[in-house]
Amino acid sequence: MAHFVSLALLLSALSVSALPAPVCTDFVLPVTASANNIDLSSGDPTTNVTIPVSGTFGIELKFCEPTTVVASRAGTLQVLVHGASYDTSYWDFEAFQPDNYSYVRFAAAQGYPTLNMARLGSGLSDHPDPLQVVQFGLQIAIEEQILRLARAGSITALGRAFTDIILVGHSFGSSVTNGVIAQAPELVDAAILTGYSHFPVPASVFTVGGVLPASQVDPVRFGGLAPDYLTTHNASSRAAVLYGPVGTFDPSVLAADEATKDLLTTGEEFTFERFAVSAPGFTGDVAAFIGEKDPSFCDPSVDCQNIATEGQFYPNAKSFEFQIFPNTGHCLNLQLDAPQVFASIQSWLDRHGH
Ligand SMILES: *[C@@H]1O[C@H](CO)[C@@H](O)[C@H](O)[C@H]1NC(C)=O
Ligand SMILES: *[C@@H]1O[C@H](CO)[C@@H](O)[C@H](O)[C@H]1NC(C)=O
Ligand SMILES: *[C@@H]1O[C@H](CO)[C@@H](O)[C@H](O)[C@H]1NC(C)=O
């Protein structure tokens, strides 16, 4: 009961007063990483032939230091990883009513520093070969390196070393999160997977929902990119995959989202399902948050209850919890329910001592 009272108070506070904005620094960090990617050069997406990739890649990081001081959270870093066709704006939606839709502002108001990254091939991060290089294997390796640097205190703009890392993903970003806690479980204390499940997405919903070469969709923004850099076609095809039904989102959010949409790659599409793995070595806390109207990751034949079985992939986790949000689509942060989603994430963090 106490939980619901505090939620109501929090929501009423959100609607009447502006959230204290954090102080943010946006920069591109050279990150050296290597992985065995899949050799997709034959055109066969099912091949198991691997190709080593390595290099130093510029990765856009946006670090936000809260102006609300909560001493117990100063050493905790929430690392935020966006999904396909997004960039840092997914977790820090500034284009429309940021007090309702920016998770970065919400977290800062609770005293959390955040490190919001643009995955390789998105935002201001480098855009290398979208078939052979920008794949999940390398994305996971890059994420691991960033977490190592943050724990070591080696990212100058962060100003310190962090001892508690909460990795928060959405969709493709949750797949990266899942891959990191499977491969390098010691780097993460708590994992939050939003808009994601191991339930197979038949033929990738992004293919079904119509993605096209980004250079064709928007020659002004994406004209120089190779055709394997992809994005959604238009606002209505975007809404069909990423949003719930009419009435569950504000059309102004969709318009702002469409205007700032970003990329995914063919290499990512073809390697996504390979990383729907178990993470038996992970001993931290795991939470799964999903919208009931998520066409990609909720299994409609069991009314989304496939999420309840996600704990099987984290057999040694300290805890596993899930929450399904009614009338909410795939992009939880951009639906009318976003403030409730954020409050639920906070309630979970509080209950697990993060
Ligand atoms: C690749 O490996 C998987 C898992 O072992 C197997 O199911 C699949 O058939 C292999 N693909 C090819 C093209 O050999
Ligand atoms: C948040 O959304 C509600 C409901 O749409 C709206 O009334 C309110 O003005 C928004 N608040 C801010 C700070 O933008
Ligand atoms: C929007 O994109 C979809 C999927 O590619 C396409 O079928 C539809 O015709 C497009 N609508 C407009 C108005 O361009």
Query: Is there an atom of ligand 3 within 6 Å of 233 CB?
Result: yes
Q: Which two tokens stand for residue 340?
A: 């409730």
Can you give the residue range of the structural domain that contains 295?
Answer: 18-351
Q: Is 292 within the bounds of a domain?
A: yes
Q: Is 2 within the bounds of a domain?
A: no
Do residues 157 and 63 lie in contact, with contact meaning Cβ atoms separated by under 8 Å? yes
| 11-65 per-position pLDDT tens digit | 544 554 688 899 999 999 999 999 999 999 999 999 999 999 999 999 999 999 9
Query: Is there an atom of ligand 2 within 6 Å of 301 CB?
Result: no
| 135-161 per-position pLDDT tens digit | 999 999 999 999 999 999 999 999 999
Give the pLDDT mean for 197-222.
79
Residue 231 CA, ligand 1 centroid: distance in Å: 28
Give the pLDDT mean for 86-111.
97
Domains held by the chain: number? 1
| 113-123 per-position pLDDT tens digit | 999 999 999 99
Residue 276 CA, ligand 1 centroid: distance in Å: 15
Q: Is 290 within the bounds of a domain?
A: yes
- Which ligand number lies closest to the CA of residue 216? 3
Q: Is 236 within the bounds of a domain?
A: yes
Whichever domain contains 65, its CATH number is 3.40.50.1820
Q: What confidence category does residue 299 fall into, taking pLDDT thresholds of 50, 70 and 90?
A: confident
Pocket test residue of 205, 230, 233, 254 for ligand 3, highest count of atoms within 8 A of CB = 233
